[in-house]
Amino acid sequence: MSDLATDPGIGKSNGALDHLIYVLKENPVTLIAFAMFGVLIFVAVFGPVIAPYDPLQSDAAAALQPPSLAHWFGTDNLGRDVFSRTIIAARLDLIISVAAVALSFVFGSFLGAVAGYWGGLIDGVLNRVFDTIMAFPLFVLAMGIVAALGNTVENIVYATAVINIPFYARLVRAEVNIRRTSGFAQAAKLAGNSDLRVLACHIYPNALPPMMVQVSLNLGWAILNAAGLSFIGLGVRPPTAEWGIMVAEGANFIVSGEWWLALFPGAMLMFAVFTFNLLGDGLRDIVDPRQRT
Amino acid sequence: MPGRLKTVLIRIAQAIPVVIGVVIISFVLTRALPGDPAVYFAGMAADEDSIAQVRENLGLDKSLPEQFLVYVSDLASGNMGTSLSTGQPVAQDLASRLPASLELTLTALILSCAIAIPLGVLAATNPGSMIDHVCRVLVTAGVSLPTFFTGIVLIYVFYYLLGIAPSPLGRLDFTYIEPDHVTGFYLIDAALAGDWETWLGALKQLALPAITLALFTLAPLARMTRAAMLSTLSSDFVRTARAAGLTDETVLFTYAFRNALLPVITTLGMVFSFTLGANVLVEKVYAWPGIGSYAVEALVVSDYAAVQGFVLAMALLFVVLNLLIDLAYTAIDPRIGFNSQ
């Protein structure tokens, strides 16, 4: 009792922790999603340490072996260890999707905030541009952008970022727009803050919770998008280990029964996307329980 | 009726700026080619003169606005350039392959609507039941499925393990003869010709790719149907209808379902966007001779005119589909108007 009275800081942090524990207890699925996310991050960070073989080292004598103790996920047509390749690929796939989502987050926030706060001509023009981007089937537009800019990994990142910017910008625009003339914003303005400061420090932070949900759901989608592009031969080049390319290479052997080539990287890809989707749903339940479906 | 006609006309007029935007973006994409397009189109063994010649032929020596005008007038006359790999005009290539893609996409969408909507309705009417949980798992797992991967798994199970499905190569096994070209849809053409053997062969070939695409689109549709049904079922007018003693069926279908359909149709628009993208992947997996695999083949050999033609065609198709969806709104819900702008 006296401890709490003397040090309110501890009591407060316990409260926040208690709340987090309460939320996770209420929704065990979200807890599982966080655990899966931890596994994914661990694999991405320590992948090269865990992997038992060099992902690029081929061994013709051990080609197309089914899963065994020596090769947990079997070997591919060049005798490379599928387990090592699947593990190593996690880092590249996550980097592509995180970079793409970070880019669309930053640009989407900026454009959306400007459009929502000042409105007028900028708002009109940006809205038209976003309408046009969304008038394309998004994966197809990404294909077109990569084809036009050149077939590299960076361009996969840019293409994925461009097709996602409208979603972020729309979200921020709506959140900023409804708060533009609210009491706290006007009070901050009267207290002598500049427009830019009011927008960046007072209004914009309100858009962050829904943005976090969007980021999480979007990460899964960005991974799918990047893997899909490399599946059709864009971006990542062989022999680099990447889930989409590994599935594409494995697809040639599926009709002759060598299922392990495509199954393991594909399953890993699904695991990653599933994790981000669960996480996004869980975050949405925490941030905005009304949107629960 | 004139009121509704006006609504429809306004909606069609609204599609025009979008089409203009789409054309501008695809023009920018064609002109953003890495390096000098003239060098590229002139080919490997080109010297200075032939490059200059090609530049003049392509109109690349003109200013950008002039180039844009040329591009638009070319498009207006149906000219999308010539594909380097097939040597045919891109527009002709796309037109001959479009029916294959449409047949696949539409079959998949009909299939997924036929499963997703009843599933969503059942899940919403029996919350907490077994079917509700099935729906929930399917919905979360469904959006995580990479289409190209599900396709490969289905091939492995149904072609390699069970041997039920035919080999995943194209629209028709080589033992059958293509039906006479009427609509380009093999199922319809074969039925029109009364050739049921070919019809069955085409159906077998179509089944796996369509299921792959349908699995992908199932999730958002089922999710939205369930959510929309839940919210209409808990609304006041449904309670009133129940209290007035209407039968369960009347309440469910006439009152709740019809109102729940609007958000479902909105989702359908988004699902179309996904489907057209996923189409490319599924066509590649099943060697389906549609416009998606055409674009993939063109990408591999850097045939830019073909790729950009494909992107533009897909975008225009999507604009038209969205237009049709919005028009379907007015049929379902007479309250809808497009007066706001």
Separation of alpha carbons A216 and B167, rounded Å? 38
Q: Which domain holds residue B320?
A: 90-332
Domain count, chain B: 1
Is A239 in contact with A56 (CB distance < 8 Å)?
yes
Cα–Cα–Cα angle for B239, B243, B244, rounded to 5 degrees = 120
pTM of the model: 0.82
pLDDT digits (tens, 9 = 90+) for B293-313: 888 888 877 777 788 888 888
CB atoms inside a 10 Å sphere around CB A109: 22
Q: Hey, how many other C-beta atoms are within 10 angstroms of the C-beta on B216? A: 26
Q: How many CA atoms lie within 13 A of A59 on its CB side?
A: 15
Q: What is the ipTM of this complex?
A: 0.82
Give the CATH number, domain containing residue B287: 1.10.3720.10
- CB within 8 Å: B146 and A128: no
Whether residue B285 lies inside any domain: the answer is yes
Name the residue facing A135 among B148, B302, B318 (closest C-beta). B318
Scanning B263-292 for CB atoms below 8 A from A yields 272-274, 276-278, 280-281, 284-285
Q: Which of A29, A93, A131, A136 is the best mutation test for B, with the most CBs of B within 10 A? A: A136
State the DSSP code for A274: H
Q: Which residues of A touch B307 (CB under 8 A)?
A: 143-144, 147
- Tokens read off for B162: 């069970």
Residues of A within 8 A of B168 (CB-CB) are 255
pLDDT digits (tens, 9 = 90+) for A25-76: 767 777 888 888 889 889 888 878 887 777 777 777 777 777 777 777 777 7
Burial class (CB in 10 A: 0-12, 13-18, 19+), A242: buried
Dihedral (C-alpha) B281, A220, A112, B268: value to the nearest 10 degrees? Answer: 50
Q: Nearest Cβ partner of A277 from B32, B33, B143?
A: B143
Residue B44 lies in a domain: no
**Span of A286-290, B53-57, B79-83, B204-208 with lowest mean pLDDT:** A286-290
Residue B20 lies in a domain: no
Q: What are phi and psi of B89, to 5 degrees?
A: -60, 140
**Residue A111 predicted with pLDDT over 90:** yes
Q: How far apart are CA B234 and CA B220, in angstroms?
A: 21
Find the largest Cα–Cα distance for chain B: 86
Cβ neighbours of residue B110 closer than 8 Å, sequence gap 6 or more: none
B143 touches chain A (CB under 8 A): yes
Residue B74 domain-assigned (yes or no): no
Q: Do B144 and A147 touch (CB under 8 A)?
A: no
**Distance from the B91 Cα atom to the nearest Cα atom in chain A, whole angstroms:** 17
The pLDDT tens digits of the residues spanning B99-153 come to: 888 889 889 989 999 998 888 888 888 877 788 878 877 877 777 788 888 888 8
Q: Is A213 helix (H, G, I), strand (E, B) or coil?
A: helix
Q: What is the pLDDT of residue A158?
A: 92
Q: What part of B 195-254 touches A (C-beta under 8 Å)?
A: 223-224, 226-227
Does a cis peptide bond (omega within 30 degrees of 0) precede residue B127? Answer: no
Residue B216 domain flag: yes
Residues 299-328 of chain B with CB under 8 A from chain A are: 299-300, 302, 304, 307-308, 310-311, 314-315, 318-319, 322
For B225, which residue in chain A has the nearest alpha carbon? A293
Inter-chain CB pairs, A–B, below 8 Å? 157
Q: Comparing C-alpha atoms, which of B203, B208, B215 is closest to residue B274?
A: B215
Bridge partner list, A81 = A75
A114-133 tens-digit pLDDT: 998 888 888 888 888 888 88
Alpha helices, DSSP H, located in A119-207: 120-134, 138-149, 153-179, 183-190, 195-197
To the nearest whole Å, the CA of B26 is away from the closest chain A CA by 8
> Does B314 contact A136 at a Cβ distance shorter than 8 Å?
yes
Q: What is the mean pLDDT of residues B169-180?
A: 75
Contacts of A136 in chain B (CB under 8 A): 22, 25, 311, 314-315, 318
pLDDT reading at B262 higher than 60: yes
pLDDT grade for B335, boundaries at 50, 70 and 90: low
Q: Which residue of A has its CA nearest to B159?
A: A255
For residue B184, being part of any structural domain is answered with yes
Report yes or no on B181 lying in a domain.
yes
**Which of B19, B156, B224 is best to mutate for the A interface (most A CBs within 10 A)?**
B156
Separation of alpha carbons A136 and B326, rounded Å = 17
Alpha-carbon span A276 to A288, nearest angstrom:
17
Name the closest residue on chain B to residue A271, using Cα atoms. B144
pLDDT at A157: 93
Binary contact (B140, A259; C-beta < 8 A): no
CB-CB contact of A231 with B152 (8 Å): no
Rounded to a whole number of angstroms, the distance from the CA of B252 to the nearest CA of chain A is 19
In a domain? residue B135: yes
Using the beta-carbon criterion (under 8 Å), do B299 and A232 form an inter-chain contact?
A: yes
A99 pLDDT tier (thresholds 50, 70, 90): very high
- Identify the pLDDT of residue A151: 81
**Mutant choice from B30, B144, B162, B321 vs A, greatest count of A C-beta within 10 A:** B144
Instruction: Give mean pLDDT, residues A2-6.
Output: 43
Task: Give the SS3 label for residue A182.
Answer: coil
Using CA atoms in the order B148, B150, B155, B157, what is the torsion angle rounded to 10 degrees? 160
Cβ within 8 Å of A, B 171-190: none
Is there a contact between B177 and B234 (Cβ–Cβ < 8 Å)? no
How does residue A210 score in pLDDT terms, banded at 50, 70 and 90? confident
**Rounded to the nearest 5°, which phi and psi values hold at B37?**
-55, -35
Arithmetic mean of pLDDT, B20-43: 73
How far apart are the C-alpha atoms of B101 and B294, rounded to whole Å? 10
